[in-house]
Structure 1
Amino acid sequence: MRHSTTGGAAGTRASRRGIRIAAFAVAVLAAPVLLTACSAAAELPAAPEGIDAESFDGASGNGLWLAPSSEIASIIVESVHAAGPVSMHGTVNEFILTEEGTTLPARMMTIDYAGRPSGYRARFLAGALEAQLLVDGGSTRVRGNDAYAAASGRPELTSVQCTVGTDPAAAQWAPFTEPAAVLDAVLSGAQLSVAAPDDDDETLAVQIGSSETMVGVLTVERYGSPLPRSLSIAELEGDTELAFTAWGDAVDLDAAAAELPCS
């Protein structure tokens, strides 16, 4: 996934090999509840859609390793969409490939996000740029530092800007304002595989790429929905480390609003 900018606004595109940051000075995923009588034996969950029911054993986990490779991405992304709020944080580093074939560090983006697309708080740092965002109740609040305001061509962004709807500044940081979109961009079109877990494993490792050219691993829950815990990608153009925590936990957007007061 590269970030590019035209006229001070950043665009995005998916890379089947991972997340990569390019310009704008780098700017720019529950176990099912089983209700049974006290005297009745607990029933095992049904096989999730896309997984061979005849091979599925609910006691061993969600069966993601039984799913066809072509359906792994959609199963994970759909689980993320249904899970509600999440905390996503980490870094994306860009490397420069020299003519000699060596790599040099270029730019780094730091992501701190909590919530869901309809309501979230986020803080992004990209090189010298910094922006804070709050989306809640159909409105957007955004504030940036001097460098971000200058790069955006909007000097007013050094003060909190409150708008009804989506401020263009929020779009500049996409897809990192929507965890499901990040995962969809990374996983869709990529070669994916999941090894059957050992008895004591609590998570599953989704391999991104072939065994000869593996570029990353997405760790997901073994039991219940295959919600991501971590994403690690390493390739010549850069690397990505993201953690996903607090699935389903409500985010205190009022506290975030107090830090970004509208005038």
Structure 2
Amino acid sequence: MSVRKRRIGRALAVAVAVSIVMSGCSGGLLKRGKSSPPPPGTPPANLDLGSVDDAKSGQNGLWHLSGSQAIEQIIDAVDRSDGVLYEGTYVEQIPVEGDDQATTEGRTLHVTYAGSPEQYSASIEAGKLTASIVTVKGDTYVSGNDAFAAHIGVAEAAEGSVCVADAHGILDEWNLVLDPAALVEALLGNSASVSVPADGKQKSVDVVISDGTAPVGTMSVAAFGPPLPHSYVAGDSSGDASFTFDEWGTTRTPTVPDDVVVGCE
């Protein structure tokens, strides 16, 4: 990690997400209503296209907006999507005593997710915890290693999948990585500033995230159609994060795990 990144401080929203996951504190689950997605190539509604030709080209015109407006458009596009496949890793950086320019790797978080908030399958590795989560037809099943079972207070989860009646209570601390719109909002929303450079007629455009003095990362999003994320890379003195997003709009129907030890009835 560069010296400039180490000087930045806790600028990344992802650090907030990971601190929630690692510490066991609970965060609020973001509730949103879905509406029909705009047709491909529709520029943002608040964009005056009188002097630009993005509507004809099919580009979404994200680079014509302010940083806050771009964030709103990206989060809205994610929220409207029927599903996504994403994978991400966060590595905590711990200052080395006696050397304010050096860090060493600490705890890690790795998550894979496929689906939408209503139905999805996910796996999480956080520190010593490993977990598998499946939500299907309104029921949520969790399983994991001994550390995870002890953490949530459900011993049977170390033996197989357990249907949990109060999924929101048990999974509150993981909300930011189990809801695509909540995750993207966290990655972008706490930044001191966000800018979108001119696109150059490319298929994607980089949203540059800054702490107010220097760039700390980028989120690549689609330049055509809804501005859905492709990737995210960022780093500061608290850690480094990277996420990839794929298969937007793919509807998935998870199945009940084969290793259920405690059912829903």
TM-score range, shorter chain: 0.7 to 0.9
**Counterparts of 2:82 and 2:128, CA distance in 1:** 32
Is residue 64 from structure 1 mapped to residue 62 from structure 2 by the alignment?
A: yes
More helix per residue: 2
Q: What is the correspondence of 1:16-27 to structure 2 with a 5 Å cutoff?
A: 17-20=12-15, 21-22=18-19
Partner in structure 2 of residue 175 of structure 1: 176
Maintained 8 Å contact 1:16/1:188: no
- CA 1:112/1:49 → structure 2, altered by over 3 Å: closer, same or farther? same
Maintained 8 Å contact 1:208/1:214: yes
Of 97-106 and 241-250, the range deviating more from structure 2: 97-106
TM-score, structure 2 normalization: 0.80
**Counterparts of 2:110 and 2:20, CA distance in 1:** 14
- CA 1:195/1:115 → structure 2, altered by over 3 Å: closer, same or farther? same
**Matched residue pairs, number?**
234
Maintained 8 Å contact 2:93/2:103: yes
**Counterparts of 2:258 and 2:86, CA distance in 1:** 20
Query: Where do 5+ consecutive residues of structure 2 fail to align?
Result: 1-9, 26-36
Select the residue among 42, 47, 50 that pairs with 1:51: 47
TM-score, structure 1 normalization: 0.80
- CA 1:210/1:161 → structure 2, altered by over 3 Å: closer, same or farther? closer
After superposition, the CA RMSD in angstroms is: 2.3
Higher relative contact order (CA 8 A, sep 6+): 2
**Counterparts of 2:259 and 2:11, CA distance in 1:** 36
Write the letter of the residue equivalent to 1:70.
S
Is residue 32 from structure 1 mapped to residue 39 from structure 2 by the alignment?
A: yes
- CA 1:197/1:213 → structure 2, altered by over 3 Å: closer, same or farther? same
**Counterparts of 1:26 and 1:55, CA distance in 2:** 50
Is residue 145 from structure 1 mapped to residue 145 from structure 2 by the alignment?
A: yes
Of 91-100 and 224-233, the range deviating more from structure 2: 91-100
CA displacement at 1:228 relative to structure 2: 0.3
CA displacement at 1:164 relative to structure 2: 4.1
Partner in structure 1 of residue 29 of structure 2: none
Select the residue among 55, 67, 72 that pairs with 1:74: 72
**Counterparts of 1:106 and 1:83, CA distance in 2:** 34
Query: Where do 5+ consecutive residues of structure 1 fail to align?
Result: 1-14, 34-44
**Counterparts of 1:128 and 1:163, CA distance in 2:** 22
